[in-house]
A and B are shown apart, each in its own frame.
Chain A
């Protein structure tokens, strides 16, 4: 069982952005994908989740041995894939609570309302969400840090099998970074396989990833253990691009 990406090539508006990505993430594992701006990190995230603008020209994606690259986004979600967005779009008038209920219902069928409310309350406390967050419109009127915590709240409520977290650490202060990291570690304990996409190594200190991959110009040029992050911090991406 794993999320397996095989020789994935992705085009955006006829332009090849990813040229043959190979990755495998197992349940309960944390892996990190690092790379400079424009290397194709978010393209990989969007292509995995099935954004219609990202065209998979070659390669396969297997979720627990089921091929998903031709499925629409909602089917991928139903099979257990989750994407935390780099830029979460706001939806006016739809409360966080109603949205999460609708999402859970779509993913798992009927839900126990009381249990849902209890879980939501508990996770919100652990993530230090503002008191009235559940009544507020989805991703509207929240600070940048709150929106990131809201993404982690969704991860913990929806309990997918595999999660891609695109720049979940960007714009977070030290406290928020710690809260978000703890949330990710809770998801890991639940058995979620996590792919962290990031520019910086600082979140990796909290998460202790099993593997780190370096993506440059649409290709993974190096994979390794957590020492790789330290090296990157010292040398920068420039040195690897050659």
Chain B
């Protein structure tokens, strides 16, 4: 197949008249709690193929059987009966910005999407509650055969891709939350990069929770064919709620030989959100996967982006930064499985804890028997801002090949008095000096982010430091 050709043709779909009224409203407010009946309703409402409903119902069975993980953070605050599993603000995915309802547009203006789009957005996919409301794709991308769609639309247009890959990287049975996601997923993105196609502009997605007790269960699938390249960027902000919210996303990535993908996330969920995400990539021969992950908000985040190096010469890297303020727990980390010879990986994890905030690094590097000549390096640095702050590391290494080159460094530190005095002797106030030291600490991650995100991350951390965020 020539580069630029997409072997998956869109399926012709008869145009259905959208349900509901013209005025913006939540067209479908699901009741709280989860049942077979609700899942059938969701699937019917979305007009899904029968095989997807079957997958959903199967996953629900698994969800009911699986217990909550016994490790990580405190998950007992989640009341599954009180969560609404499906909300849809609009019936159609708006193709153009002006078609997006004013109310939602205003919300996005506050986050800054339109400006960002003017600059260099390739396509914007925004998730408002459980459904994508806005999606635009630059024409040249479409010409190259690149697919960048919200998952619901993608299921209608490209069912073959989804049927082929859905659940192959993160099966429903992986954990309780991946099962939940498979049962009730809504939204998320499908990205398909055909063979040899290199997309230089970042593909960006924004999403946001905006109602109490709303679950967000987006599902993202990215396939990069041989020699392809893309950078997928997602960021989200969320306002503060009184009730607890659950976010359980699944991201599945397949990187074919010599292909490369970078997946960048900056997340700032409101501080009552449980953010439980399963992200995993399969990388084949000489392919490269890079996760860049920033976690600021949420009550509890449990997220361990994983890379399975499945072909010789494959590379994986996971860069992450976590910030935990009062009452927050960021249980984050990384997993690398060296499933083939001559594979290499790098993990850099940085965390900042403030007041009673708690960060945990939980990592796994696995080199099974037979995976000869592998290299792995792990660096984790924790910065504690107060005496009550807490940081733990759980770095697991399972190395079964003696010729592996493995390095591991870990530091835990506080802002030094000497550093403060030095900066203050140059005219900086104590607050400015602290900010500068913290910004320096996160710099190795910030410099890997697209400029807008780096600025946003720095701004968010500054706000967190000054305590002006609730």
A102 engages B428 (CB within 8 Å) = yes
A200 beta carbon closer than 8 Å to chain B:
no
In the complex with contacts A73-B421, A102-B432, A91-B426 CB distance below 8 A: no
B440 beta carbon closer than 8 Å to chain A:
yes
CB-defined contacts of A107 to chain B, threshold 8 Å: 426-427
In the complex with contacts A91-B437, A92-B441, A94-B439, A51-B426 CB distance below 8 A: no
In the complex with contacts A74-B427, A77-B425, A83-B425, A89-B432 CB distance below 8 A: no
A85 beta carbon closer than 8 Å to chain B:
yes
List residues 244-294 of chain B with CB under 8 A from any CB of chain A: none
B444 beta carbon closer than 8 Å to chain A:
yes
B422 engages A103 (CB within 8 Å) = no
CB-defined contacts of A78 to chain B, threshold 8 Å: 427
Cα separation A51 to B418 with both chains bound (whole Å): 9
CB-defined contacts of A76 to chain B, threshold 8 Å: 425
A85 engages B437 (CB within 8 Å) = no
> How distant is A164 from chain B, measured CB to nearest CB, in Å?
10
CB-defined contacts of B430 to chain A, threshold 8 Å: 72, 74
Cα separation A94 to B442 with both chains bound (whole Å): 10
> How distant is B378 from chain A, measured CB to nearest CB, in Å?
18
B436 beta carbon closer than 8 Å to chain A:
yes
CB-defined contacts of A87 to chain B, threshold 8 Å: 418
B442 engages A106 (CB within 8 Å) = no
Cα separation A50 to B421 with both chains bound (whole Å): 9
In the complex with contacts A51-B421, A102-B432, A106-B432, A94-B426 CB distance below 8 A: no
A88 beta carbon closer than 8 Å to chain B:
yes
A77 engages B427 (CB within 8 Å) = yes
> How distant is A239 from chain B, measured CB to nearest CB, in Å?
35
List residues 103-120 of chain B with CB under 8 A from any CB of chain A: none
B388 beta carbon closer than 8 Å to chain A:
no
A91 engages B423 (CB within 8 Å) = yes
B428 engages A89 (CB within 8 Å) = no
Cα separation A106 to B426 with both chains bound (whole Å): 8
B419 beta carbon closer than 8 Å to chain A:
yes
CB-defined contacts of B444 to chain A, threshold 8 Å: 93
B441 engages A93 (CB within 8 Å) = yes
A74 engages B436 (CB within 8 Å) = no
What string of 1s and 0s marks CB contacts (under 8 Å) between A60-103 and chain B? 00000000000011101110001101011101111000010011
CB-defined contacts of A99 to chain B, threshold 8 Å: 423, 426, 436
Pick from B418, B426, B436 the residue with the most CB of A within 10 Å: B426
A91 engages B440 (CB within 8 Å) = yes
Cα separation A49 to B425 with both chains bound (whole Å): 7
B424 beta carbon closer than 8 Å to chain A:
yes
Residue of A50, A52, A93, A158 touching B440 (CB-CB under 8 A): A93
CB-based nearest A residue for B443: A93
CB-defined contacts of A77 to chain B, threshold 8 Å: 424-427
A106 engages B425 (CB within 8 Å) = no
CB-defined contacts of B436 to chain A, threshold 8 Å: 91, 94, 99, 102
CB-defined contacts of B425 to chain A, threshold 8 Å: 49-50, 73-74, 76-77, 82-83, 85
> How distant is B382 from chain A, measured CB to nearest CB, in Å?
14
CB-based nearest B residue for A72: B424
B386 beta carbon closer than 8 Å to chain A:
no
A154 beta carbon closer than 8 Å to chain B:
yes
Cα separation A102 to B435 with both chains bound (whole Å): 11
B18 beta carbon closer than 8 Å to chain A:
no
A19 beta carbon closer than 8 Å to chain B:
no
CB-based nearest B residue for A100: B426
B138 beta carbon closer than 8 Å to chain A:
no
Pick from B424, B436, B442 the residue with the most CB of A within 10 Å: B424
CB-based nearest B residue for A139: B422
CB-defined contacts of A158 to chain B, threshold 8 Å: 426-427
> How distant is A134 from chain B, measured CB to nearest CB, in Å?
15
In the complex with contacts A74-B428, A103-B428, A92-B423 CB distance below 8 A: no
List residues 417-459 of chain B with CB under 8 A from any CB of chain A: 417-419, 421-430, 432, 436-437, 439-444
Cα separation A103 to B444 with both chains bound (whole Å): 22
B422 engages A91 (CB within 8 Å) = yes
Cα separation A94 to B437 with both chains bound (whole Å): 7
CB-defined contacts of B429 to chain A, threshold 8 Å: 74, 106
Cα separation A58 to B427 with both chains bound (whole Å): 25
Cα separation A173 to B429 with both chains bound (whole Å): 35
Residue of A51, A52, A88, A106 touching B428 (CB-CB under 8 A): A106
Cα separation A93 to B438 with both chains bound (whole Å): 9
Cα separation A87 to B439 with both chains bound (whole Å): 23
In the complex with contacts A88-B422, A89-B416, A94-B427 CB distance below 8 A: no
A137 beta carbon closer than 8 Å to chain B:
yes
CB-defined contacts of B441 to chain A, threshold 8 Å: 92-93
In the complex with contacts A94-B437, A94-B439, A94-B440, A106-B427 CB distance below 8 A: yes
CB-defined contacts of B443 to chain A, threshold 8 Å: 92-94
6 tightest A-B contacts by CB? A93-B443, A93-B440, A106-B427, A94-B440, A103-B426, A77-B427
Q: What would 29 A/B residue contacts be, using CB atoms closer than 8 Å? A: A50-B424, A51-B421, A52-B417, A52-B421, A74-B425, A74-B430, A77-B424, A77-B425, A77-B427, A78-B427, A89-B416, A91-B423, A91-B437, A92-B443, A93-B439, A93-B440, A93-B441, A93-B442, A94-B437, A94-B440, A99-B423, A102-B432, A103-B426, A103-B428, A106-B426, A106-B432, A107-B426, A107-B427, A158-B427
Which B residues contact A (CB, under 8 angstroms)? Answer: 416-419, 421-430, 432, 436-437, 439-444
Beyond known contacts A74-B425, A88-B422: 15 more, CB 8 A cutoff:
A72-B424, A73-B425, A77-B426, A77-B427, A91-B419, A91-B436, A91-B437, A91-B440, A99-B423, A99-B436, A103-B423, A103-B426, A106-B428, A107-B426, A154-B426
